[in-house]
Amino acid sequence: MANVDSIAVAPAEPDPTPRSGQAPRPSRARGLSRVGALVAHAPAVLTDGAVIAFALFTVLYHLAFLGDLRPSVTFRIWLVACVVLAVVAVLRARRRAGTRTDSAPTDSAPAAPEEPDGARPATDRRLLIGVLVAAVVAAVSAGAAGTSIDLTWWIPAVAGLLAAVGGLLLVRQAWLRGPVPAPAAPAPTAAQSAYALVVSVLVGISSFFMARNTPDDVYYVGKSVWIAERDLIPLNDFLFSENVLPAMGSQPPIPSIEVFDGAFANVVGIHASSALWYVLLPIMAMLAALALWRLTHRWAPRRVLLAFTVAIAYLYLVAGDDAALGTFHLLRLHEGKGMFVSAVIPLMWLYLTEWFDTRSRRSLVLIVALSITAIGLTNTAAIILPMLVGAAGFAMLLVGRWKAAVVAAVAALAYPIGSLVVSRLVLGGMTATGADDAFFDAAYTYRRTLLFGVVGVISGLALWCGALLARRRTPALLAAGAALALSVLFVPGVLEVLSALSGISVVLWRVPWLLALPTLIGLLCTVRVPAPSRALRRAASGGIAVLLVASFAVFATPMWSSKSWVEVHPRPTWKLPQQRQAIAFWIKGLDRPEGLLLAPKTIMRTTPIVTSEVRVVLPRDFYLVEYDLNSQFAKDRLLLSEFADGTASPTPAELTPALDRLDVGTICVYNGNRYARDTAPKLGYQEFAKRPSPGGMTCFRRAG
């Protein structure tokens, strides 16, 4: 009582307690609360902001064609617009924050509760057992199809289709039985978001040290270099000519990612390849990891951090094959299509989930912005997005959400399809000439992306059991729709019909991209194992996660392996073989005459990535199909490149007309190519430069 009396008579300072009787929080607590709220919302702010910003640039880039603006001007306009939008967003956030009560810390949101044992309605148990059996049969047989086991693809195709149909029926029954059995996923806590941010930063840092040189870089990175050095957008060919020859029909100038990189490099004043690999690639890697985190958090019913960790481990440990998702996640994000499959796909599933749950204007705006971002990254978006949105829309139609499904479809597809149609009307019909026309059937498509063996079995389980593992209601329904769509595509003959009707065989092997596969892989460790206590259930989930990661480590090829065509460097590097890069810079610095450069194919493929000032005879032989392989245009280039490579020994009488027709001013060959070194003087070229080993090379220039 003495203490109470002394407090009661304590003089002087006014009582800060509000009249409502609520005790105030100390200023330090309020500060920590604000920091926690910022951390908790950071992944959403960063990813949503990046989507809106890049969508804005894509729209400005497309509008720039009307005013013939230079890329640097478009980039500066975009910067101003981004600043204005950021200020408006901050003011709106402050206004909303001012209307909220300040009664509790905003970072104290509860973690995702575990669903009780009876969370899923006890529907037809025989159907549930049948779905599980069919899923196991489909996964095991699909994983075995690429091994020495002689197994018809009809087994996994039919079993997978049955599992997908049964899974969708189960989810639909649970939905229609309502009322909603569980609340929506709670907002991430500050600790969860902090973990995701730390992982994403580590992912971004790792992008500095792993290099995977791909033949496509000569086009994608070469275009950025061309734009940065000339501050122009090449609407015609820029590899074989100076923006004179027709552009490749399979590459309409809709994507804006190469223009963004080139304009950024031009404005900042650095090399476009450095801008791409030292600045933009780490940012893209971080955003892709955060996109994966956000979908995993939304779809996982429990153990969200564990599921996210397994998903990240999958991407790093399962690479190797050219079409494995791990090779696109970090090693080819800079090509646009890598960012599409790694970031746009999970974000589209996330935004669709939010739209179907809330039907808020914000979700719809984000869907529209993401669709614009998608087509700004790759033309593939115009093919994969309709499949993804169609899968989600069909699932929603089954539960009566037809209006929300139609609105989402229009929002997600209007801009990508519209921009493609407009570009074709302006530039002419799109052709598949010059695209990789090799067709991959359903079995090979599965093996290329979902792989085979143990990893293929795990991928199959994630695909066909995802709807049973995802959070109830919308996540489960969308996962079921995706599984059904891909299962239909995996039926023998379906891809063949699509190829014949559409002529898009070039990208049909990418249909597994419509799945958010890494997230579904992570959901495998969230399966509820019957156990008497929560601690044992958590231990069981941890054990499953360990088994998954161990399987990836033992039975797959990691991202950093040489079998993944990756070189790991002790310091940040360009994504090029270092010797080829050094040779290309050395040739650039020579006192060369006018005309094209003839060099070994690997050097000619590297040179456009270094500079657009040195035009080469053959940037990439694959692109010659755009200009007819039987034409003199193509024959001359193939003949000369084989001569420079040392794989053929044509006579001077055969070489001279080709050299004259192509106006070759410089010939550089490796010192080991003795025939080319001896023949060059007979062709009217004189030696003028010699590079010592390693990578020893001799260069000749046209006399006079």
Tens digits of per-residue pLDDT, 403-438? Answer: 999 999 999 999 999 988 888 777 665 554 444 456
pLDDT digits (tens, 9 = 90+) for 502-524: 777 777 888 999 999 999 999 99
Q: Mean pLDDT throughout 253-263?
A: 94
Between CA 513 and CA 531 the distance in angstroms is 36
Return the DSSP state at 276: I
Q: What pLDDT is stored for residue 365 in this prediction?
A: 96
Q: What pLDDT is stored for residue 251 in this prediction?
A: 67
Q: Mean pLDDT throughout 441-448?
A: 90
Return the DSSP state at 116: P
Domain limits, the chain:
125-211+274-567, 578-702
Q: Are strands 697-702 and 685-691 parallel, antiparallel or unpaired?
A: antiparallel
Residue 680 in this model has a pLDDT that exceeds 50: yes
Residues in the chain, overall count: 704
Other beta carbons within 10 Å of 610: 25
- Give phi and psi for 688, each to the nearest 5: -140, -5
Q: What pLDDT is stored for residue 126 in this prediction?
A: 76
H or E element at residue 669: strand 664-670
Q: What pLDDT is stored for residue 14 in this prediction?
A: 43
Burial code of 227-238, b = ≥16 C-beta within 10 A, e = fewer?
bbbbeebbeebb
Q: Mean pLDDT throughout 301-313?
A: 95
Q: 531: phi > 0 → left, psi -120 to 50 → alpha, else beta; which?
A: beta
**Amino acid letter at 696?**
G
Between CA 228 and CA 70 the distance in angstroms is 11
76 with 391: CB under 8 angstroms?
A: no
- Give phi and psi for 113, each to the nearest 5: -70, 150
Residue 1 in this model has a pLDDT that exceeds 80: no
379 with 506: CB under 8 angstroms?
A: no
Query: Which residue carries 């069909």 as its tokens?
Result: 394
Q: What pLDDT is stored for residue 16 in this prediction?
A: 41
Asked if the peptide bond before residue 681 counts as cis, ω within 30 degrees of 0, the response is no
Between CA 551 and CA 314 the distance in angstroms is 10
- 249 vs 82, which has greater pLDDT? 82
Between CA 642 and CA 640 the distance in angstroms is 5
501 with 176: CB under 8 angstroms?
A: no
Between CA 556 and CA 319 the distance in angstroms is 7
Q: Mean pLDDT throughout 538-559?
A: 93
Residue 4 in this model has a pLDDT that exceeds 60: no
Between CA 613 and CA 669 the distance in angstroms is 19
Between CA 403 and CA 418 the distance in angstroms is 21
> Which residue from 509, 337, 504 is spatially nearest to 435, judged by alpha carbons?
504
480 with 171: CB under 8 angstroms?
A: yes
CA distances from 524 to 25, 311, 499, 517 (A): 42, 10, 33, 11
Helix axis angle for 534-555 and 304-317, nearest 10°, is 10
Three-state DSSP class for residue 697? strand
Sort 44 into a burial class: Cβ within 10 Å, 0-12 / 13-18 / 19+.
Answer: middle
Residue 120 in this model has a pLDDT that exceeds 50: no
Other beta carbons within 10 Å of 623: 20
Structure tokens, 610: 């270094």
368 with 408: CB under 8 angstroms?
A: no
Q: What is the mean pLDDT of the chain?
A: 87
> Which residue from 252, 238, 336, 278 is spatially nearest to 607, judged by alpha carbons?
238
> Which residue from 647, 574, 567 is spatially nearest to 606, judged by alpha carbons?
574
Between CA 680 and CA 664 the distance in angstroms is 12
Between CA 364 and CA 353 the distance in angstroms is 11
Q: How confident is the model at residue 265 (pLDDT cuts 50, 70, 90)?
A: very high
Q: Which of 123-127, 366-370, 490-494 has the lowest mean pLDDT?
A: 123-127
pLDDT digits (tens, 9 = 90+) for 163-197: 999 999 999 998 888 665 455 678 899 999 999 99
HSE, CB side, 13 Å, CA atoms: give it for residue 430.
Answer: 19
Between CA 448 and CA 450 the distance in angstroms is 6
Structure tokens, 695: 């990578």
The distance of Cα 656 from the centroid of its chain, to the nearest Å, equals 46
Q: What pLDDT is stored for residue 434 in this prediction?
A: 43
CA distances from 483 to 126, 394, 398, 550 (A): 20, 12, 15, 26
DSSP bridge pairs for 568? 210
DSSP bridge pairs for 686? 701
Structure tokens, 78: 């975009």
Helices (H), 180-240: 190-206, 217-230
CA distances from 335 to 55, 183, 465, 477 (A): 17, 39, 32, 32
- CA R_g for the chain: 29
586 with 236: CB under 8 angstroms?
A: no
Q: What pLDDT is stored for residue 646 in this prediction?
A: 94
How big, in percent rounded to 5, are the helix, strand and coil portions of the chain? Answer: 65, 5, 30
Q: What pLDDT is stored for residue 99 in this prediction?
A: 62
DSSP bridge pairs for 406? none
> Which residue from 314, 333, 343 is spatially nearest to 207, judged by alpha carbons?
333
DSSP bridge pairs for 231? none
350 with 292: CB under 8 angstroms?
A: no
Return the DSSP state at 667: E
pLDDT digits (tens, 9 = 90+) for 58-105: 999 999 988 889 999 999 999 999 999 999 988 887 787 666 544 444
Between CA 115 and CA 132 the distance in angstroms is 20
The distance of Cα 280 from the centroid of its chain, to the nearest Å, equals 14
pLDDT digits (tens, 9 = 90+) for 329-365: 888 899 999 999 999 999 999 999 999 999 999 999 9
Q: What pLDDT is stored for residue 28 in this prediction?
A: 64
Q: Are strands 567-568 and 210-211 parallel, antiparallel or unpaired?
A: antiparallel
pTM over 0.85: yes
33-47, 137-151, 271-285, 309-323 — most confident range? 271-285
Q: Mean pLDDT throughout 537-545?
A: 90
